[in-house]
Structure 1
């Protein structure tokens, strides 16, 4: 999974030069990627690409790249035809059977099984528990900024600030002991950063697959051991609530609990971390917007957070498979086709967002799809993510108003729009 050096890449001037399945594309500078997706959005119908070649799965016949906002909405609203459960939603190639044990969470399922699991999990997020989480977010964010001020400028904002808040909240929610925070953090980096050589040595594809399966196995083993302890002896955390939940006679199996934990810790940790990191970067590059937010921190926060999520779009895409022939917005899809919903591109669609590349903390309306499109797979943790981003920036703007981001080091990934490291100064 190596890429050419920038000098060897020709500039993209037409759709024919774009290959979203080529790792070289995702190594290009952000401005070049933005230009490529703008060209794709100008097409009358979605462009069709060959699937990435991987040794652990047979290639399918290709996929439609869904890059326009209107198309993402229409397909998301039709989960019966554009399904998530046939081969997985989080990867373009079909998920091998051995992956399903660890990564076969409800995000990769369809109704009725998806509805059953979401119903059980949603009951665990009671108003009382949500209220407790919100109080915990404030305490955790204050502590993170306390320690940032103690360390002083020059530290890595990603690891010292952006990653710490969601990691602590997710682990505390589940009842993961503090001694295991780093263990969870490192494994979640492997799960979402397997294509980046910093997290997984790229010696060969088999080693990458082995690293993924090992990380999944270790995370699942951790939560299953805790679940065994709390079965019948709850301690007030989410693991206790889930392992002892009985909704209409239904309970989560240990395998389902383990897969849900991997989904929660990866989605709830990595994506919020990247939104916070890219939020500081946006404020640094747009000092006028920072000044405006500082003029009324609480008043501007709701719209500012939505704008951060829109431009950050931490999850680049989700995949769907077509269950029957259908025409959507003038484009034809055949049974068995794949459609990859590029949320990052949809959130820059000039047909929906005026001046889409600008950062405007007063943008209203802001119908972004940063938490996914409408339908059964809309992000379960959107409320918590918004709360974490809001509280983190309230602490930073209120106590470290001069903080600025340095040059970001981006994650090498087609799935996650991530920042690995980023120095900060104040």
Structure 2
């Protein structure tokens, strides 16, 4: 620690405290606005149960800092961990040590192999399946009547798409859903139990089960390849490179979690936002296709489904007037960057026609920009196209029940009516 360079945050704002993440969204955004005035701000690390508290971290809350750090991976590294503030114990790394926590050349090698599943040709092949899934989900919704929008609508589409992509059989999908909830549960006792030991056991168990499922499937696909991403990855050989079973397993966990949870939350946030901003709904409904592109980007900016990623300084470095030291940890705080008045006009307004919209809701620019961004946009659009066509009056019937997490801006339950 080097107190000489620290700018401590206001005493009443503590990003390491769960109370901050329990507070209403508006309060959090007001706090981020205050932090942006004195950025970057230093915070003590929370005590993470069996992992001793580390040296603390800077919160990068301005758009300029988040984008610059994202573009400079050689200085702001994703190793040893991008998804946890403390360094992860080695037993976690086995399941959660995916390419999101790696730097080049390892990151580039893995991304080169797995990005084959996300080419325009692969995504076009998925398009029909996405549309059919959305239709089936709305069929069931109309039959069921008012219900929980998250479990009956928002969660079903991304899960079905990821499982179709990977070739996961129908019979195992509930298990994938359950375990991906646990992996991204943040600090929510509904998923993790009340104490740290239970939480860690559940997390490792979820990782092990997901990894084992993919291991079984990969073995089968090496003997009997099919038209799915698991076959492509299990048999991949690019310039003599292929994925180990451990790499396959942790990629699947990344996909099940990042590709499922975040899109589900974006679809849920859309319902809450259209309910709270009927003028924006009317505007979108006037020309659904013409405005879908900007509407989806604005939902991602405004809701920021992923709250932060961590980076670690590889060397001393000056950025925007602040000196960082080798080994410093920083958090890229996306919801704050996405409301930075230096970049966005009237940043607290939800405006589905906003353009340009250089948000960082899919991560900042650079090598770690979300691999599934195009797929997420397609899924959110497909789900809402179907709802707009057949249930245009659908609205939230009460406030969302939010996930207790500093990492994901999640909605657990959102009653809907139509």
Distance 2:119 2:360 in 1: 25
Task: Give me the whole-angstrom Cα distance separating, in 2, the residues matched to 1:373 and 1:275.
Answer: 18
Match of 2:412 in 1: 420
Q: How do 1:203-282 and structure 2 match up within 5 A?
A: 204-282=195-273
Partner in structure 1 of residue 11 of structure 2:
16
1:246 offset after TM fit, Å? 0.2
CA distance in structure 2 between the partners assigned to 1:37 and 1:304 by the alignment: 24
Q: What count of residue pairs does the alignment treat as equivalent?
A: 409
Cα distance per residue 1:355-385 (max 9 Å; x no partner): 1111101101000000000010000000000
Query: Are positions 1:337 and 2:332 aligned together?
Result: no
Instruction: Give, in angstroms, the shift of residue 194 of structure 1.
Output: 4.5
Query: Separation in 1 of the partners of 2:318 and 2:287?
Result: 47
C-alpha separation in 1, matches of 2:165 and 2:51: 35
Aligned counterparts of 2:349 and 2:123: Cα–Cα separation in 1: 33
- Aligned 8 A contact 1:15 1:36 in 2: no
Residues 234-275 of structure 1, C-alpha deviations (whole Å, 9 max, x = no match):
011111110001000000000000000000010000000000
Please list every run of 5 or more consecutive structure 1 residues that lacks an aligned counterpart in the other structure. 1-13
Displacement after TM superposition at 1:25 (Å): 1.0
Partner residue in 2 for 1:90:
83
Asked whether 1:324 is paired with 2:319, we answer no
- Paired position in structure 1 for 2:4: none
Aligned partner of 1:354 in structure 2 is 345
Contact 2:118 2:371 in 1 (8 A): no
Aligned counterpart in structure 2 of residue 104 of structure 1, from 87, 97, 108: 97
> Which residue of 2 is the match for residue 397 of structure 1?
388
Question: Which residue of structure 1 aligns with residue 5 of structure 2?
Answer: none
Distance (Å, rounded) in 2 between the aligned partners of 1:89 and 1:272: 20
Q: How is 1:186-201 mapped onto 2 (pairs within 5 angstroms)? A: 186-201=178-193
Other-structure match for 1:182: 174
Shift of 1:332: 1.2
- Contact 1:410-1:421 within 8 A present in 2 as well: yes
Q: Counterparts of 1:215 and 1:55 in 2: how far apart (Å)?
A: 19
Q: What does residue 31 of structure 1 align with?
A: 26
d(CA) in 2 for partners of 1:336 and 1:320?
10
TM-score, normalised to structure 1, is 0.95
For normalisation by structure 2, the TM-score amounts to: 0.96
Residue 69, structure 1, aligned to residue 63, structure 2: yes
The runs of 4+ residues in structure 1 deviating greater than 6 Å are none
CA distance in 2, matches of 1:178, 1:344: 35
Answer yes or no: is the 8 Å Cα contact 1:56–1:96 preserved in 2: no
Distance in 2 (CA, whole Å) between partners of 1:123 and 1:424 is 38
**C-alpha RMSD over aligned residues:** 1.0
Equivalent-residue separation in structure 2 for 1:294 and 1:125 (angstroms): 30
Q: Deviation at 1:193?
A: 0.6
CA gap 1:126/1:233 in 2 versus in 1, 3 angstroms: farther
Select which of 140, 148, 151 maps to 2:133. 140
Contact 1:65/1:341 (8 A) holds in 2: yes
- Partner residue of 1:50? 44
